[in-house]
């Protein structure tokens, strides 16, 4: 159902793609500053978010989800474990493996970060006029789809 590539070749399309890239990058950077716990790296926050969304998984599965090498994920998990944000438990089907599970402390921190980011976005959206806000509401599902392709 996608559009053929050649339909996106006009100068107007190139300008729109560039504006979208710049806008998403700047918005993402500003949203990162809304984190509740800035002592965590973006990689650590991302891993915790993946565990919150997907549930417990092996370190290898988490590494694949996060697009990092397993040794990097092992170090990241150790850091999160030291802070009490994840725990390791035996795998339910394969006792040779462990699963990484986020703790209540991690879930509370993620929820606080989401609430802070949502409050900031709500404030920013309040500065838009009705037409801009309607366009942004309509674009939200499309941006979500792009982020998950």
First to last CA, the chain: 14
Q: Give the predicted TM-score (pTM) of the model.
A: 0.75
Instruction: Quote the Cα angle for 114-47-20, to 5°.
Output: 60
Q: For the residues 143-147, what does the mean pLDDT come to?
A: 90
Of 2.40.30.10, 1.10.10.10, 1.20.1630.10, 1.10.645.10, which CATH number belongs to 36-121?
1.10.10.10
Long-range contacts of 117-121 (CB under 8 A, 24+ apart): 117/31, 117/34, 117/35, 120/30, 120/31, 120/34, 121/31
Name the E strands within 23-137.
86-90, 98-102
Q: Give pLDDT tens digits for 33-58.
A: 877 777 888 899 999 999 999 999 99
Share of the chain above pLDDT 70, in %: 95
What pLDDT sits at residue 10?
87
pLDDT digits (tens, 9 = 90+) for 70-122: 999 999 999 999 999 999 999 888 888 899 999 999 999 999 988 999 999 99
The answer to whether the CB of 45 falls within 8 A of the CB of 35 is yes
Q: What is the pLDDT of residues 59-84, one digit of tens each?
A: 999 999 999 999 999 999 999 999 99
Q: What is the DSSP letter of 41?
A: -
Count CB neighbours of 7 within 10 A.
9
Domains of the chain, by residue range, sit at 36-121
Q: What is the pLDDT of residue 94?
A: 84
Q: What is the mean pLDDT of residues 8-15?
A: 85
pLDDT at 6 over 70: no
* 4/49: higher pLDDT: 49
Residues 70 and 59: beta-carbon distance below 8 Å: yes
């Amino acid at each position: 159902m996608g559009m053929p590539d050649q339909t996106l070749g006009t100068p107007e399309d190139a300008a729109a793609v560039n504006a979208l890239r710049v806008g998403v990058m700047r918005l993402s950077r500003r949203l990162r500053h809304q984190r509740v716990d800035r002592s965590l790296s973006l990689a650590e926050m991302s891993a915790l978010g993946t565990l919150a969304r997907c549930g417990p998984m092996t370190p290898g599965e988490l590494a694949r989800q996060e697009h990092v090498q397993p040794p990097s994920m092992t170090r990241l998990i150790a850091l999160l474990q030291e802070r009490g944000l994840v725990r390791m438990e035996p795998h339910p089907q394969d006792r040779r493996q462990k699963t990484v599970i986020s703790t209540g402390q991690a879930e509370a921190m993620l929820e606080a970060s989401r609430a802070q980011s949502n409050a900031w976005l709500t404030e920013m959206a309040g500065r838009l006029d009705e037409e801009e806000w309607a366009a942004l509401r309509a674009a939200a599902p499309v941006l979500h789809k792009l982020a998950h392709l």
